[in-house]
Amino acid sequence: MKLSVDLARCEGHGLCEEAAPELFRLDDEGDLVVLFDASAAVPAEHETDAASAARVCPIGALRVRSE
Ligand code: SF4
């Protein structure tokens, strides 16, 4: 599974950080920091959290792609 992140659309709601704290963090300015390599597959142990993050993002900035 891959998870694409559209940083240009991200509005910093932070729900992805709550759903997947190992994958996302908001910095002190409220900007999203991606903690994994979005060009590679999501580590298997984080796939469930990645799917949850994509589901809760209110603007659809995160998209799951099966590979
Ligand atoms: S939930 Fe979506 S809009 Fe909010 S910080 Fe994460 S990617 Fe950005």
Q: What is the pLDDT of residue 32?
A: 96
Q: What is the pLDDT of residue 18?
A: 98
Architecture in CATH of 2-65: 2-Layer Sandwich (3.30)
User: What three-state secondary structure class fits 46?
Assistant: helix
Residue 32 Cβ < 6 Å to ligand 1: yes
Residue 62 Cβ < 6 Å to ligand 1: yes
Looking at the DSSP assignment, which residues form a beta bridge with residue 25?
A: 33
Q: What is the pLDDT of residue 66?
A: 83
Residue 15 Cβ < 6 Å to ligand 1: yes
Q: Are 63 and 2 in contact (CB under 8 A)?
A: no
Calpha distance 47→29 (Å, rounded):
27
Q: Whose CA is nearest to atom 4 of ligand 1?
A: 13
Domains of the chain, residue spans: 2-65
pTM for the model stands at 0.93
Ligand 1 geometric centre to CA of 41 (Å): 19
pLDDT tens readout for residues 2-60: 999 999 999 998 999 999 999 999 999 999 999 999 999 999 999 999 999 999 999 99
